[in-house]
Structure 1
Amino acid sequence: MAEDLSIIQGNKAEQYTSLLPQIKALITGEPDQVANLANIAAALKEQFGWLWVGFYLVKGGELVLGPFQGPVACTRIRKGRGVCGTSWAQAATLVVPDVEKFPGHIACSSLSRSEIVVPLVKNGEVFGVLDVDSAELNEFDEVDRKFLEEIVSWIE
């Protein structure tokens, strides 16, 4: 089945408001987690044009690279390490305006300037993270936090 997104311009909240029902439609009824994560990453990357959008999943005590869109990435991240590992350890969304100022930042890409990481939680346990990187400083804010947290709440 061919799927097309309706990409809109406008402020960030308007873009998310248009995109969320489209993402919901893409994943509703699809039981395969990898397929859903891949479509979510693609939809976000296509709408916003960020440098990197993807998922890391907890496997064997590490975050392991999952579906993503963007340049090649770090394959494994330990708990508490970098923005992704810290989000996992704290079970909290982290908004980082300047990755160079984040203690222990892992530079998977030298082009990354700011980042948001949202944990995927089920039954009180973090089972992965959504990681989004931008080539611009201060790209992410509370609008991103709100909408990205809503999106990840749909992931099982």
Structure 2
Amino acid sequence: MKLPKEITNGFLIFLGIGIYFLLMNLLGLADLFYLRTLNVFFIFYGVNRTMQMNLHEGETNFVSNAVSAMATSVVGVALSVFGLLVYSYARGGDAYVETLSKTFMFGGNPSVPTYCICLLFEGLASSVIVTLMMMLYWNNKYAAD
């Protein structure tokens, strides 16, 4: 059974983000906020890969490509947030999240679920932005007409 390209590329986004953050943690760079924002490049990679696969298969319909690109980024973000949830509880739960929130934009002391829900909303917003940017890029390259 072959998995759909949206799930495969979403899983690649998850792997890229997961390895990136584990590597940053290992190197002691996890507290640098600007390095955390670079994870958007993994979303760009996965969505771009899905778009290339769609166009290679001859799919030039804007709406179906947009849905495919959005599904890819949502799968990647959802898996990444779930991975953070599991990792946070493995590292001490709320105590671990308190160390993360010092360098993030949260006020107070968020719990693990609160932190993950907020990151999920942030990730979904970035997914929409990345999808729109990639759709504009690919729409100019390969018009459906």
Same-fold status (TM-score > 0.5): no
Q: Greater share of helix residues, 1 or 2?
A: 2
TM-score of the two chains, using structure 1 as the length reference: 0.33
Q: Greater share of strand residues, 1 or 2?
A: 1
For the pair shown, which has the larger CA radius of gyration, 1 or 2? 2
Bigger RCO of structures 1 and 2 (CA < 8 A, at least 6 apart): 2
TM-score of the two chains, using structure 2 as the length reference: 0.35
